[in-house]
Amino acid sequence: LNNKKFIDKAPPEIIEKERQKAAQVSSAKEKLEQQKEKIAQL
């Protein structure tokens, strides 16, 4: 999604699918960071 040429050439449904994947990865990363903080407090 950072590649402008990809965005310009890819079909909209592919772009949306990639955006959804990026959002899922971001959410998973945030959850892991929260768990890491909890573990560090033990």
Predicted pLDDT at 38: 97
Range of the domain at 30: 4-40
At 36, list the tokens: 């890491």
* Mean pLDDT of the region 14-41: 97
Q: What is the pLDDT of residue 16?
A: 97
Q: Residue 15 burial (CB < 10 Å; 0-12/13-18/19+)?
A: middle
CB 7 within 8 A of CB 1: yes
- The model's confidence at residue 1, banded by pLDDT at 50, 70 and 90, is confident
Per residue in 10-23, pLDDT tens? 999 999 999 999 99
- Report the pLDDT value the prediction gives residue 35, as an integer from 0 to 100: 98
Above pLDDT 90, what percent of the chain? 90
In whole angstroms, what is the distance from residue 33 CA to residue 39 CA?
Answer: 10
Q: Which helix (H) or strand (E) holds 3?
A: none
Q: Which two three-digit tokens encode residue 12?
A: 């909209």
Number of domains in the chain: 1
